[in-house]
Structure 1
Amino acid sequence: MTVGAPAGPQEVVEVDAVDCLFEPRPWPFAEERAADIAAHWAAALARKPRMFDGRVLLMHRGAVEADAGGRRTFRGAYLETSFSAFLFWRDVGLPPAGVRNGFGMACLQAADGAFVLGEMGGHTANAGAVYFASGTPDPSDVRDGRVDIAGSIGRELGEETGLDPAALAFDPGMTLVMDGCRVGFMKRVRSPEGAEALVERIHAFLARDPEPELARMHVIRSAAEIGPAVQVTAAAYLRAKLSR
């Protein structure tokens, strides 16, 4: 995920369900650029030695389908690759390569209507960027041959903020923010606490974590507060929701 301009026009779509399969297959881009990927990763590690080259899932097909009753479902499929290959693809500008980054975001909203986002820590690949709790799916999100996007969203929210998903209300359906190289699966998550109390709770969790992914939290109440550090998918979601 990147903070800058979207790759092509963005589309914001509401869907009732998401159904994504795990369909492993080679990623030709990663194979053809293996030497470049290795060199790029070595340079990235020299700058940020705490990064880890784990496995991630990238979407190789996906589209919104509507049934006869008007119910809309996003159906897609994912392959597995290395984080280093994903990072190289991202950092060279997300060129067309037969994949999209299909990730979930927990769009945390306080009881007073404000949205609460986190600023990525300096040791991370996206240092300084402001996001909703999110992450590119990984093999732990595969359940019975399917990629559990909703489960990934809940897991990332708990890991990054310390909030208990069971104490929050997850809206049905999802908002999709799509461009040429990304599909953001945006799930609104409502807290019974106001923004200030929510931020205080999360900051206390971050202070206890010896290696927190987030540096601090940000509160956004209006579209005018969406600054340049807000990641493009999160920014598109906020503009859509706060303009209503």
Structure 2
Amino acid sequence: MLVRLDSTQLTVTEAPLAFVERHADAIAAHWNRRVAAQPRLWNGPQFLFTDVRVHGGVLHGTAHRTDYAAFLFWRDHRRDGSAVHITGASLGVTTDGAIIAARMADHTANAGQIYFPAGSLDPGDVAGGRIDITGNIRRELAEETGLEPPLADFDPAMVAASIDHAWYVARRCRLALSFAECEARVRAHQAATGDDELAELIAIRSRDDTDRLRPYARALALWHFDDVERGEGR
């Protein structure tokens, strides 16, 4: 399902999440197995959500503090609906018409998968008791790629894909660079920071390129190309 959003209202609660309490031992055991296979995984803080709904163009939800181990268990042991995951994503469109996607490095939890720069919401995204999803989207784009377009270059509205109790909230950004220039910027960023989460940058230039994307990313890309055909996207 795809839906256009005007805004989000994701409110942080200190209440425990029943899903995590119910599966605490299994979460710990699963995390130990995952780290044994991929030692560079990091159990950072993040959120899972309850009471997620869309009303009047606004995505509502209650954010419960948890960690990456709980998320991975939820993701890998699919998803009973008592918890929901929300991710911010950027749709960066280059001056030569490509959407910026990336293949994830082998040491990450999404090794080999191709999607748009994105990241789970975490406590650094909270302002005034609510999650700033646009701040998350811009931060993740900058951290992963070194690209830091101003807020004015992002579309005012958002689009969200909902698949299997997960929401992927995206804002499209009109980058002032070609795809080749973005690649050079990313390589320089990785050399300067040592960040190697992205194995390679990939240009999604048409519908024919979307089959290799994760399903939610493919849905967002097809939405963009529909907009292009209507003259609304670049």
| TM-score in terms of structure 1 length | 0.88
**Whole-angstrom CA distance in 1 between matches of 2:177 and 2:152:** 10
CA contact (8 A) 1:157 1:165 kept: no
Name the structure 1 match of 2:130: 146
Structure 1 distance, partners of 2:208, 2:43, is 37
Deviation digits for residues 53-106 of structure 1 (CA, Å, limit 9, x no counterpart):
11111121222222xxxxx222222111121111011111x2214121111001
* Residue 31 (str. 1) matches residue 21 (str. 2): yes
CA distance in structure 2 between the aligned counterparts of 1:49 and 1:78, rounded to whole angstroms: 28
| Secondary structure of residue in 1 paired with 2:118 | strand
Alignment counterpart, residue 213 of structure 1, candidates 188, 197, 204: 197
Partner of residue 90, structure 1: 75
Higher helix share: 2
Aligned: 1:235 with 2:218: yes
Q: Distance in 2 between matches of 1:14 and 1:167?
A: 19
Map of 1:116 onto structure 2: 100
In 2, are the aligned partners of 1:168 and 1:190 still within 8 Å (CA)? no
Is the Cα contact below 8 Å between 2:144 and 2:195 reproduced in 1? Answer: no
Structure 2 length normalisation: TM-score?
0.91
Query: What corresponds to 1:188 in structure 2?
Result: 172
CA displacement 1:159-215 (0-9 Å, x = unmatched):
000112338711101001113311111100111111222222212322333232111
Hey, what does 1:158 align to over in structure 2? 142
Residue type of the alignment partner of 1:16:
D
Contact 2:79 2:164 in 1 (8 A): no
Moved over 4 A (4+): none
Count of aligned pairs: 227
| Worse-matched range after superposition: 153-162 or 218-227 | 218-227
For structure 2, the residue ranges without an aligned partner over 5 or more in a row are 230-234
SS in 2 for 1:165: coil
Question: Contact 1:168–1:191 (CA<8 Å) still a contact in 2?
Answer: no
CA 1:158/1:16 → structure 2, altered by over 3 Å: closer, same or farther? Answer: same
Kindly indicate whether the alpha-carbon contact (under 8 Å) linking 1:203 and 1:216 is maintained by their aligned counterparts in 2: no
| 1:55 maps to 2:42 | no
Q: Which residue of 2 aligns with 1:101?
A: 85
Q: How does 1:172-187 map to 2 (within 5 A)?
A: 172-187=156-171
Q: Could you say what secondary structure the match of 1:172 adopts?
A: coil
Identity of aligned residues (%): 33
Q: Are the counterparts in 2 of residues 48 and 124 from structure 1 also a CA contact under 8 Å?
A: yes
Is there any run of 5+ residues in structure 1 with no aligned partner, and where? 1-10, 67-71
Q: What is the DSSP-based 3-state SS (H/G/I as helix, E as strand, rest coil) of the residue aligned with 2:150?
A: helix
1:95 is paired with a residue of what secondary structure?
coil
2:43 maps to a residue whose letter is: D
Deviations 1:13-43 (A, max 9, x none): 1122222111232222222222211111111
* Alpha-carbon distance in 2 for matches of 1:63, 1:32: 23
- Contact kept, 8 Å, 1:29 with 1:97, in 2: the verdict is no
1:86-136 Cα shifts (integer Å, max 9, x gaps)? 1011111x2214121111001111012210111111111111111211111
CA distance in 2, matches of 1:20, 1:95: 20
User: Of the two structures, which has the highest relative contact order with CA contacts closer than 8 Å and spacing of 6 or more?
Assistant: 1
